[in-house]
Structure 1
Amino acid sequence: MVTFNMVCDKMGGRLVAVVWFVSTLMVIEIASSQWIQDETGLEDCKFDNTHDCEHEDDVSVICQLPGYLGCFNHARKSYLFPPFKEQGNEVHALRCIKLCYEEGYVFAGLQYGSYCYCGGSDTMYDLQGKVADSKCSYPCNGDSNQLCGGDRLVGVFDVRKTFCSDPRTPNSRVEGGVSFIFASVVNISCQVGFGQVRLQCSQEAGEVKWIPDIPKCPDVTQPDVRLVNGDYPNMGRVEVMAINGEWGTVCDDYWRQPDANVVCRQLGYKDYITAHSGAFFGEGTGEILLDNVECTGDETRLNECAFLTVDNCGHDADAGVTCQLPGYLGCFVDSTELRVLPFNKMSGPSVHALQCIIHCFGKGYFFSGVERGNECYCGRIDTAYDRLGRARRSDCRMACGGNSNLHCGGDNAISVFDVTKAHCPDPGVPRGGARTGNSFVFGSTVHFSCEDGFQLSGEPSLHCLLAQGHTNESGVVGWTLDVPHCVDTDATSSLDTTTSLGAAIGPLFAVGILLVIVITIFFVIRRRKRRIANTHPKPSNNPSPDAVQYAKCQRGYS
């Protein structure tokens, strides 16, 4: 029995029983063992790798539950616990521990195989003395693999040491109940990220803990869907992030337009164009995380749709989508006699929607429109593009001649865009630096560098993309990062990022300070002059009273 006690001790528990389980799948490696009582692990024992056993001779152990304090005398006439909480054929150790824990007690005690006691922190369960654990050998009525004390003997547990911590976090969801007692199982999923992690409350090295560790869910602002390997950022293979942070693909089984609609809306696009199958944008790598995705089209995130996490696909069945370009306003009726967007027509086999947006924006127009697959039109800010009414969505599904993944209206139906919502603002040029790239349309990239004597602070490249997430209601694009600036490495001073307003602020500030100083000096001098004047008054032209009296006397004398 010493060997089996050692196995339980290493796991942090105590031996309950030795059981022979028939036909287990464990490999027979230990034919005979010799032991002493101070081994810390089974590997420290002496054993033979040769054997004459069959799997019908496999052995196993049952260890005592976590939190076990020992076996104690509990005489009938001087019970240390309050009257029993439960008694009967359903009683077993875990049931009693859970009952006491939920009612706020600290200790649980079991006796006679069918009695459950609960005690507070002041319960002196050891007052009558402790006995050998083997004395508490009555099998529990509710589970014969657990022990429930003995005759006038009570097995005592500290219930606080039999529960795992609450696995719930602000960004997680828990399935499987809210009881976190030893041996319980829960499934953890995250608000962001796909998949679940199955956790079991177990004991490891004497500590009750969840195995595996509780996953750390990504921040809710972090995107868990992305498009990869497309011609433009609004198209590509759909990849989703698992809750462990790894990216995987989606199988195209049941992949339809409602699924593409949810993906596009989650990424911030107003509409979808196509749901692609058969690895249209190339085969991905890593795990295939989702299969049999079925969205209604009303969901705001892909993880709200129905799906399976066990797939029967290969990467040759990776799903993809093409979303509508930023700034899309809708499909509208047009007429060859009276165009709704009448300006600066451009046509040809290379025309596509994004090219038309760039063309009209460069000419100073506010709207662009494409129709018949190869025609581009522009409109001013006051152009009433909707004056003939809105067309059906399906009327604007003609593939663009310049890029068949994009749609360019239809016959007498024009796809209209607000070109300003498809362009990022001018990022400027850093003082002491330079910029490469003058196109700020959706999908473009600009690069920054600094002159000799300056060092770039920030990322050297910015990408014009649509902000991800369904909270981006306006659908306006923006640069992925802040504009970098150049730092003077000699003066260790930072220069402003652009050559516009910031360049004039310094001199204006200096002039303002100088003006304040001049005004202050003026008032100080003026105040000092007044003070001097009051101290030394000017001579008066009028005679003093004494002089007047003297003159009178002179006249009287004469």
Structure 2
Amino acid sequence: MHREKPRTHCASVGSYNGFKDFISIPKSRQDSVRLVDGGSRCAGRVEVLHRGHWGTVCDDYWDMRDAAVVCRELGCGEAIDAPRRARFGSGSGPIWVEYANCAGSESSLKNCRSYDWGRQRCNHDEDAGAVCADSVRLVDGGHRCAGRVEVFYNRTWRSVCGKNWDIRDAAVVCRELGCGEAVFKNVQFGPRSAWMDDVNCSGSESSVKHCRSAGWVEQICNRLAGVICSGVRLVGRSRCSGRVEVLHGESWVTVCDADFDQQDAEVVCRELGCGSPVEVLGAAAFGRGEGQVWSEKLQCRRTESQIHFCPKSSSLKHNCSHDNDVGLVCSESVRLVDGLSRCAGRVEVLHKGQWGTVCDGNWDMIDAAVVCRELGCGEATDALSGAYFGSGSGPIWMDNVECRESESILKNCKSAGWGKHNCNHPKDAGVICSSELH
């Protein structure tokens, strides 16, 4: 039975049903909060980490002030709903907090007044939830980092219309979800009711809700926006070279070098759009990671499109630490050719397994900066035209490139379309990056 009582912020409650005085939730480097089973990191059942175990929060007196603290702590914008009665499903394990008793101004849930840890009269049918304003999720894609884009609006999840949906819009969604880079912008066919239409993100927004659009008007849409984000990343020298980290739940975890082979490497490089594996490196070659080391062995078969689709085995024979973090060098999806180093030369991009050039139409320093950043080569010092580093061969993949400063990879920049050009190889574009000067 749900118990209603006027909210108070007094120092104690005396002998209220035998509970101790209100105390502050212990401050610890291990304390944490998450939202579970709501379809995105900004909506779901509230869970807190205490003594190494995730537990739920009872919905007694749970209100918008409590939800506001959770949303603020997660960086998810304002609270728009504080659901009770296990709206996002019943949790399991301990119920750590019965009465959060937040004022609403706290920076973290652990700073709110609460009854002693684990002492409560609730069951999991009373688990509290929160829905924050910056709520987006991906559905029907096989895992939380792929699928049709839905945003939470007016207390309901709504599809996004796919008109003019592009890789920059997809990149904002992936970053908002903490899912790494956008590797594919997808459009699913309707018809279906949708709200947000003609989305036009610059690429730097923190939430897709902050992007320009035609407005929040319900309509029947024939093309629905979707995205596939990478659930793996390489941390180190460049986007295509570094320590392997895999998204597991809400956290990035490292991978043991004894449990990662060439077949796994091929899937990772392909998922990131980084060409083929060049080298698999053990013994924390790109530095020791933080947090957990993944407790499963990857058993990829080379054919998977994403690392999360690979079979996994929990029967590990190795006791790994961050000293065993595996690193990977891929051949990259962009390269600079015929210069004096890997940081200067003719620009070439990898598409459909084949290297091709970029036409110098509209080629400028913003475009060059994206290439240098993608390669981990510092700042752009020159954007060259007229085949300065010699004429290439094969396809001309990109023409009339128009990058924005927020793009992380050249493939995400707007262009005339893959293989569409009015150009020839004497107009191949080139770049010199600052690392070339050292």
TM-score range, shorter chain: 0.3 to 0.5
Q: Which has the higher helix share?
A: 1
Which structure ranks higher in relative contact order (CA pairs < 8 Å, sequence separation ≥ 6)?
A: 2
TM-score, normalising length: structure 2: 0.36
